[in-house]
């Protein structure tokens, strides 16, 4: 069976490394990006993605804005947002945009459960062509 492809976007290299290592142990194929621009580049290159794990706060464009930008361009890949603050109302509003919102620090088992619920049950979604 084909490994699910996961893109991890976080400006904190150590966190990226932990998630990567853990998810690879659990049998996923992982790509990483340290900011929103790098993540966009990965998507523009039409790398097949099943899931994006995204930090909400990064220098430059944050996770929320990145997803909004992606959706505007027809990119429908599911996203798990990892956030440091509980702006509960905001998170709730944004929840429609995300498959899951997890609060940092996240237990790795909790992350795995969220990942499995997305790539385990949802069918693979093909990227749509750019709107422009």
Partner 1 sequence: MRKNKRKKDKDRVKRASKRPAGDLREEGLFLSLLDKKEEELLHTEEALIESMRLFRNLFEQSPIGVGIHDPRGALLIVNKAWLEILGLDSFDAMKDHNLFTSFHFNERQKGLLRAGKVIQCDLEYDFGKAGLKTKHEASLHLLYIVSPLFRDKAVIGYMTQVQNATERKKMAEAQRLAQLGRLLADMAHEVNNPLMIISGLAELALVDGVGDEKLKDTLNTIVDQCFFAKDIIQRLLKYSRIGKVEKKSVDVAAAINLVVGILAHHLHLADITIKKHVSDGLPPIVGNEKQLQELFMNILHNSADAMMDGGTITINARREGDFIRIEMIDTGEGMSRKVMERIFEPFFTTKQRGTGLGLAVCHTIVQDHGGQLFYDSRIGEGTKATVLLPVAGAAQGAAGEAL
Q: Cβ 124 to partner 1, closest distance in Å?
A: 27
Closer residue to partner 1, CB minimum distance, 20 or 127:
20
Closest Cα partner for 77 from 34, 41, 122?
Answer: 122
Q: Cβ 106 to partner 1, closest distance in Å?
A: 7
Q: Cβ 29 to partner 1, closest distance in Å?
A: 18
Q: Does 22 bind partner 1 (CB under 8 A)?
A: yes
Q: Does 116 bind partner 1 (CB under 8 A)?
A: no
Binder to partner 1 among 2, 89, 123, 131 (CB under 8 A)? 89
Contact 91, 110 (CB under 8 A): no
Report the alpha-carbon distance of residue 51 to residue 66 in Å, rounded. Answer: 14
Binding mask 39-68 for partner 1 (x = CB under 8 A): ------------------x-----------
Contact 53, 80 (CB under 8 A): yes
Report the alpha-carbon distance of residue 83 to residue 103 in Å, rounded. Answer: 5
Q: Does 21 bind partner 1 (CB under 8 A)?
A: yes
Report the alpha-carbon distance of residue 125 to residue 59 in Å, rounded. Answer: 29
Closer residue to partner 1, CB minimum distance, 15 or 97:
15
Contact 91, 83 (CB under 8 A): yes
Q: Cβ 28 to partner 1, closest distance in Å?
A: 14
């Amino acid at each position: 069976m084909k490994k699910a492809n996961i893109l991890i976007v976080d400006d904190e290299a150590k966190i990226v490394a932990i998630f990567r290592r853990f998810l690879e142990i659990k049998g996923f194929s992982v790509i990483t990006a340290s900011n929103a621009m790098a993540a966009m580049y990965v998507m523009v290159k039409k790398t097949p993605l099943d899931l994006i794990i995204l930090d909400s706060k990064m220098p430059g464009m944050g996770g929320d804005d990145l997803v909004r930008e992606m959706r505007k361009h027809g990119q429908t890949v599911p996203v798990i947002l990892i956030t440091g603050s509980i702006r509960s109302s905001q998170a709730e509003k944004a929840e429609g945009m995300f498959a899951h919102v997890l609060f940092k620090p996240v237990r790795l088992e909790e992350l795995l459960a969220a990942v499995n619920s997305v790539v385990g049950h949802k069918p693979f979604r093909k990227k749509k062509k750019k709107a422009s």
